[in-house]
A and B are shown apart, each in its own frame.
Chain A
Amino acid sequence: MIELRDIHKSFDGRAVLKGIDAVFEDGKTNLIIGQSGSGKTVLMKNIVGLYIPSSGQVLYDGRDINDMTKKEKALIHREMGMIFQAAALFDSMSVLENVMFPLDMFSDMNEADRIKRAKYCLSRVNLDGTESKFPGELSGGMQKRAAIARAIALNPKYLFCDEPNSGLDPKTSIVIDQLIHSITAEYKMTTVVNTHDMNSVMGIGEKIIFLAGGKKEWEGTKDDIMSSTNETLNSFIFASDLFRKVKEANK
């Protein structure tokens, strides 16, 4: 479980996060949603330890990541998998080498077992046959799936996804969403997804946190969204005609 307590973050005196409290439970797909510039990515970087909050705590099973020693921090990072907006696969390595990378770095498996595990992870995300390809030879959706395979190679406890559907067509986005959702349940991970894709929100949002202007404006499930009376949330979620019509139909 990940708990955020009163997270504040400022850059050069400009407050980006203004007191965020949240709890992300195990085995659930937790979504952080909000407009561009609302502080989603900064919040995620605070959660994973890439940024240190100006004040507040990020607790992993009760332990604040920013109070951990360097060694403890490295260990908790090994329990994390992350999928970046641009996949962030290593250009100079093949797909198989990318997926094997965390295993090469941190596991004591022999080479045959590492290859076997990496190939299993690739088949789990339906990327069989791409082992020898390089990231530049893959489509955007395939890169994201390869990134998921790399993220789950070490059986992480926590999975973070920063706008995993960015730049993907709606059909591929659904495939990625379902993959994240099913892997979360399969590995009983705590998954946190940053998104502003409404299909993701309505598809996999077991717990949703809505950020606006650096504050937590609303919290609930995808079912709660339909009945929400929060105007800021409604103006964000139901900005498109399609979703407005869906809401009308649900009334």
Chain B
Amino acid sequence: MFLTDYIATFGRYLQLMWRVLAIPERWRMFGREYIKEMANLGVDSIGIVMLISFFIGAVICIQIKLNIASPWMPAWTTGYTTREIMLLEFSSSIMCLILAGKVGSNIASEIGTMKVTQQIDALEIMGVNSASFVILPKILGLITMIPFLVIFSAAMGFIGAYATSFVGIINFDDITAGLQHEFNQWYVWMSLIKSLFFAFIISSVAAFYGYTVEGGSFDVGKASTNAVVSSSILILFSDIFLTKILS
């Protein structure tokens, strides 16, 4: 029963995506919506991403210094480990889990409200492909903005790590040495590639839950929660496969 429900839901998701990935009817209108969504989903998330990344970068640095570093290990270990954690996991996967909460619930509740207040029906009556008009700019908007969020997140994590040197926890030069030690450029690309997949998962799954809402405000809230839970689980699962494939 559970399996058939899951397959049926996945089938409906694919059907919706088939409608979403249509050529826009009016490029002028699509462009307007696309820019709006980049601002709404991407630019408006910069603040929270930078704030969280700064503190996580600082905390990772402090924890490693206090719990792992020893006289037997090189002084650059703390900076090096902080860099690897930020680049390989935090700035892509964990940051996207955070965005699944912020952006995912936003998309699901916005589209869900449009559905229950018949705004989606109004689009259909006008002869507009509502799925494509409403969802496609959100998916492409988030995919466009996510690499910038990943870069901002990593950069703020490093700044957070540096900030700990100002409170005397670690030496500034040791962090610099650690951040520069055996730097592998591919890790940055890996982080960016993973984030693109996660951005698609967040926006499309949230849009699916919003678009298929039936009922009222209670159901919109439920759809919003389901969107966050489902996209978080999918991000975690796909993280394993993507890490394996890209490493």
Contact = CB atoms under 8 A, between A and B. Distances in A.
Contact of B25 (A73, A85, A105): A105
A194 to B, nearest CB: 13
Nearest to B117: A86
A48 interface: yes
B28 interface: yes
B118 A86 contact: yes
Interface string B100-131: 00000000000001100111011011111000
Nearest to A73: B127
A45 to B, nearest CB: 8
A84 B126 contact: no
A88 to B, nearest CB: 4
A74 interface: yes
A50 B124 contact: yes
A50 B121 contact: yes
A105 B29 contact: yes
Contact of A85 (B28, B29, B118, B124): B118
A49 B114 CA distance: 19
B244 interface: no
A106 B123 CA distance: 12
B190 to A, nearest CB: 36
Contacts, number: 54
A65 B118 CA distance: 21
A75 interface: yes
Contact of B127 (A104, A106, A160): A106
A146 B56 CA distance: 49
Interface residues on B, range: 10 to 19
Interface string B208-226: 0000000000000000000
A163 B127 CA distance: 22
Contacts of A90: 114, 119, 122
Interface in B191-243: none
A104 B29 contact: yes
Interface residues on A, range: 20 to 34
A105 B125 contact: no
A233 to B, nearest CB: 29
Contacts of A75: 127
Contacts of B28: 104
Interface in A149-207: 160
B26 A104 contact: yes
A102 interface: yes
B29 A88 contact: no
B127 A82 contact: no
B125 A102 contact: no
A43 to B, nearest CB: 15
Contact of A105 (B113, B119, B126): B126
Nearest to A71: B127
Instruction: Specify which of B29, B127, B128 lies most central, judged by the most chain A CB atoms within 10 Å of its CB.
Output: B127
A146 to B, nearest CB: 12
Interface in A52-81: 73-78, 80-81
A91 interface: yes
B127 to A, nearest CB: 3
Interface of A: 48-50, 73-78, 80-82, 84-86, 88-91, 101-102, 104-106, 160
7 contacts: A48-B125, A50-B121, A73-B127, A75-B127, A76-B127, A86-B118, A104-B29
The 4 closest A-B pairs by CB, nearest first: A77-B127, A88-B118, A74-B127, A88-B122
Given A73-B127, A101-B126, 12 more contacts: A77-B124, A80-B125, A82-B122, A82-B125, A84-B122, A86-B118, A88-B118, A88-B121, A91-B117, A105-B29, A106-B127, A160-B125
